[in-house]
Structure 1
Amino acid sequence: MNTLTDPAAVPGQQPGVAAVDRTNVVLAFDVGGTDMKSGIVLGDLARGDVEVLDVQRHPTPLEAGRTGESVCARIVELTGEYRAAHPELLIAAVGVTVPGIVDEDAGIGIYSANLGWKDFPFTATLTEALGLPVGFGHDVGMAGEAEFRLGAAVGKKDVLILVIGTGIAGAVLCDGHRVAGGGYAGEIGHAMVPGPDGSLVIMESLGSAGAVARRYTQTSGTAVAGARDVLALAAEGDAAAAGIWKDAIDALAFSVAQCVSILGTETVVLGGGLSMAGAALFEPLAARVDQLLTFHRRPEFIHAALGENAGLIGSALKARSLAGS
């Protein structure tokens, strides 16, 4: 069971959570293109009795040519603030997830188009500055690891985790192991799919929440706040909205079917903002995937279980493994 507490919660033991070791906790950071999320993760990670305390969001420091250095400096600064705010807790390790292409073993952010770093040594920089073990990984990869070990995909072996928001990213697990591909695995949003006109386009240009809203605005001339508005219009009989939603389903289904055919994917975990569409997404997606497959086993579609804190929990898992507990 995962107990996720808000920033105002008293950091005491939560109902249903076993007694935890408060002298061996992880401070986790999930760095994004706009903001960086942080929180204290403690509990028996092996059992899934997890607390996430004092969750905060801060703007990601975007310093031209020095974003990697600026992010690390901010992490060091926030670590000091967390220590001062929670003297009863001993931070034993730090976990950090970042977007882009990541070499987790070497601790390097190979490339991030949005954040501007290239071959930046996150693990070495933070380990030297903090004097603590640093677990470093890809943001969606670590979130996928958390869903696999503690969340929706527990007990599964061949899993595709899709986070569908402004863009689309994924984590792939085969035979119980996450595929890293030297940092390049999981970029499913940039896989090519057939477009409505028969050309090949990247999948997230049709299937992401951002694409759904953008394409409706372009097609109809009417601006919408997001994909949820397009889905509501489709339900009301708006032909343009219905067509754009169908295009999104087709694009997602094509990539899922490819994973099933090539990797034997048995479980698809859907997270991110678009997954909140619920049955309006899950049912037509499963039906379209079924049409695209022949003799293959049909995957089970399930909703991500850990919510917005999956990345923090995943980085804590990595950091705790390095700390030897």
Structure 2
Amino acid sequence: MSSFVVALDVGGTSMKGGLVTRSGEIIRTDRRATPRDRGPAAVIATIRSFIDDLAAAEGGTPEGVGLAVPGLVTAEAALYSANIGWRDVPAGDLVPLDVPVMLGHDVRTGGLAESVLGAGRELSDFLFLPIGTGIAGATILGGEPYGGSGGWAGEIGHTPVHPEGEPCACGQIGCLETYASASAVARRYSTRVAASPPSAPASSSFAPEPSSTPASPLPASSPPSTSSATVVPPASVSAERVAALTASGDPLAVEIWDDAVEALSLALATYTLLLDPSAIVLGGGLAEAGPLLSDPLAERLGKRLAFRDAPPLRHAALGMSAGMLGAALLGWRAAGFTDAGTTWSLDVLKSPHVA
């Protein structure tokens, strides 16, 4: 029997777990819902049972356990997560087995995987930027994620890009995440459609989808003002749909997409001038739009950096498995194998379990 570690990527909605061997073979994966609506104790219990079940399925004891978790985290403890609601949870409380364990921040752990295994494999310094429901980044320095003095490094999504713009859920005004996250793109398009007269051209291309998200109406100018009026659209539209409408030339979708690209270019220009990354690796759901996002973003970023070249943009290589694969690296590091992943074949990562 091959030795293995348990790797678990804990998200606010679901968890992805896997068993990964010393050679990088992914021998099992599974998913479970994250029961955050039942409180942090239920989430911890689910994590423990998930780890136990994964290990038992292989019929052996893992060499270690690696966990990627959201919020403020150290290698030894999950200090705080607004999404899950826990505070000061020691790593040992999350694992039912008497084996070495290491925790990592979810985005930084994904960045570690992209550094060791993926799009940043030959780079020492880059920004890993997954753009999904929210936006956070992993600053990779010398091949390792940088957590900052207190573990808060990487919150690029809360960089103010429009100081007089739209309120952000974090309490600030005009954050990058408010304009350029996948959820923001979907919300802003849906809200503008709901606020448009029935005869407006924008509403003719609106294709309702089966979810409903309340939002605030935005005026046509960019950046939008902080209007207190509220409109509940009849249905919301996904960011994927907005991307498709942008590609087809829908005027409102083009405007919303352009706002997102503009916001990203502002934040990334600042990041580039401060840290001079070798590359920017784009991941997450919005990056699935491919050149529709990366081409105008590269052009806009290049124009913002008047006296220097912009870093190249790359697409993340590991997709939605980056967090789980990063957790596997943490698990092997916890077991004492600090060089884990450096000899793993990219062909191994094409296992059907990597999806």
Same fold (TM over 0.5): yes
- Distance in structure 1 (CA, Å) of the matches to 2:14 and 2:113: 21
The 2-side partners of 1:254 and 1:302 are apart by 18
Partner of 1:19: none
Please point out which of 80, 87, 91 is paired with 1:111.
80
1:234 to 242, 246, 260: 246
Aligned to 2:115: 148
1:319 alignment partner, one of 325, 331, 345 = 331
Q: Does 1:133 align with 2:100?
A: yes
Question: What residue number does 2:229 align with?
Answer: none
User: Once the 2 structures are TM-superposed, how far is the Cα of residue 90 of structure 1 from its aligned partner?
Assistant: 4.3
Q: 2:33 aligns with which of 56, 59, 70?
A: 59
* 1:288 lines up with 2:288 in the alignment: no
Does 2:143 match 1:176? yes
- Local SS of the residue matching 1:154: coil
- Supply the distance in 1 between the matched residues of 2:263 and 2:22 (Cα, whole angstroms): 39
Q: 1:30 to 1:239 in 2, by over 3 A?
A: same
The SS at the match of 2:299 is helix
2:54 equivalent to 1:82: yes
Q: 2:237 aligns with which of 225, 228, 234?
A: 225
**Paired amino acid for 2:57:** A
* Deviation readout 1:87-140 (Å, 9 max, x if unpaired): 2x5411111111112123xx222221111112222x13245x310111111111
Q: Conserved in 1, the CA contact under 8 Å of 2:20 and 2:28? A: no
Match of 2:9 among 13, 18, 30: 30
> Are residues 198 and 60 of structure 1, via their aligned partners in 2, closer, same or farther at CA, if it must alter by over 3 Å?
closer
- Equivalent residue for 2:179, pick from 206, 217, 230: 206
Task: Verify the 8 A CA contact 1:134 1:322 in the aligned structure 2.
Answer: yes
Deviation for aligned residue 1:172: 0.5
CA distance in 2, matches of 1:185, 1:196: 24
Aligned twin of 1:71: 43
Query: How many equivalent pairs are there?
Result: 292
Q: Are the structure 2 counterparts of residues 276 and 157 from structure 1 closer, same or farther at C-alpha, using a change threshold of 3 Å?
A: same
What TM-score does the superposition give when structure 1 sets the normalisation length?
Answer: 0.84
Contact 2:43/2:84 (CA < 8 Å) preserved in 1? no
Ranked by relative contact order (alpha carbons within 8 Å, sequence separation 6 or more), the top structure is 2
Q: Which has the higher strand share?
A: 1
User: Distance in 2 between the 1:185 and 1:163 partners?
Assistant: 15
Determine helix, strand or coil for the equivalent of 2:5. Answer: strand
TM norm structure 2: 0.77
Question: What's the C-alpha RMSD, in Å, of the aligned pairs?
Answer: 2.0
How many Å apart are 1:62 and its aligned residue?
Answer: 2.4
What are the superposed Cα offsets for residues 63-109 of structure 1, whole Å, 9 maximum, x if unpaired? 65x51x4333223322332233222x5411111111112123xx222
Check the 8 A contact 1:193/1:254 in 2, yes or no.
yes
Instruction: Rate the CA distance shift 1:84–1:103 in 2: closer, same or farther, 3 A.
Output: closer
Instruction: Give the percent of matched residue pairs that are identical in Structure 1 and Structure 2.
Output: 42
**Unaligned runs of at least 5 residues, structure 1:** 1-21, 45-49
